[in-house]
Amino acid sequence: MAKKNAEYNIEYNTISVISGSSSTELKCLSILNSNPRQQFNAQAIDQVLASKYNYRRDLKRIAKIRTALCRLADKGKIRRMKRGYFQAKANLETIAIIESPMTKLHGIKIEIKRIEGISSQCNMLTWLETKHFRSITNAKGTSLKRSTKQIGWRDRWITMTVHESNFIEIFLNAGDMPISYEEFCSFCDFMDGYMEPYFFTRNNAYVTMIGIGKDYEELHLDGLKAIRLHKFKNDWCSIYEREDGRVRFEHHLKLNITLEDAINIMSLISTPPRYAHQNNSKEDDHRDVT
């Protein structure tokens, strides 16, 4: 059953049941969980609960609501904010209500085993000189037989390393500014133009490392700063709160697929899932979980 306050445009459910909680606590928790974006104080919740009557401010009733909110905060059910305001804590239900951000690319490493059109080391050195690559040496000044260059692209850095064996490594660092599927396609087009006339052919390019994730602006981690799960040697994920306040769900994977396959995968996962409200019917509600 849902109720609505016309003045505050608030909806809340009155069917939640929590063991050991009073009726006032249940109603307060239902209002906060149904509106996770907003912060409430005791008087605002009192106005929502008394919306069907001609509202008159009652200090005793507001004090009772304030006590219920404090008890919920002490139990860890809600978050205590500043100046007497409270907010819902993030859980599986409130996450779906708050936001479902787009999955973006945080970093990618691409390897090209050979460049079409470069048949000799002489041609390679000429191409490197044209692009102003810097030769890498050790502490003694001995050449390590590879050259590198950092390339600016849309306020991000691309690190490109070319080995004398006609082998290329390209790393795009987009941790601070993740890129969408459309930007990923633009990045591939940019590399095609940069390597002209030796085209950045997608058939010869392989993705060996990729990092994807979501940035939540309105979620917060209470009591911890980061969670890291290293499932396998080449597969790990982490959840942490960034300096800008956003919570990032990040997944890194070492693999070996063609760039064309990586583009197709990004096109499939870039669209956020649509959440459906759960009904009370006995039918199975089959939904994919991302």
The yes or no reply on domain 2-98 and CATH 1.10.10.10 is: yes
Closest by CA to 143, choosing from 123, 163, 124, is 163
The 8 Å CB, 24+ separation contacts for 58-66 are: 64/24, 65/24, 65/28, 66/41, 66/42
What is the sign, positive or negative, of the torsion defined by CA atoms of 277, 278, 279, 280? negative
This prediction has a pTM of: 0.59
Helix axes 23-34, 59-74, angle to 10 degrees: 70
What one-character-per-residue DSSP string does 212-275 give?
A: EEEEESS---SS-SEEEEEEETTEEEEEEE-TTS-EEEEEEEEEEEEHHHHHHHHHHHSSPPPP
Return the pLDDT at 138.
Answer: 73
What does the domain layout of the chain look like in residue ranges? Answer: 2-98, 104-269
Enclosing H/E stretch for 60: helix 59-74
CA separation, residue 162 to residues 62, 109, 144, 152 (Å): 69, 14, 11, 17
Tens digit of each residue's pLDDT, the chain (290 residues): 444 443 444 544 443 334 445 788 888 988 888 787 788 999 999 888 877 667 778 888 899 999 999 999 998 888 888 889 998 886 655 666 566 778 889 899 999 876 655 555 556 667 677 778 888 777 666 667 788 889 999 999 999 988 877 788 999 999 889 999 899 999 988 988 887 766 566 667 899 999 998 888 767 776 677 888 876 778 888 888 888 778 888 888 898 998 888 888 888 877 645 544 444 444 444 444 43
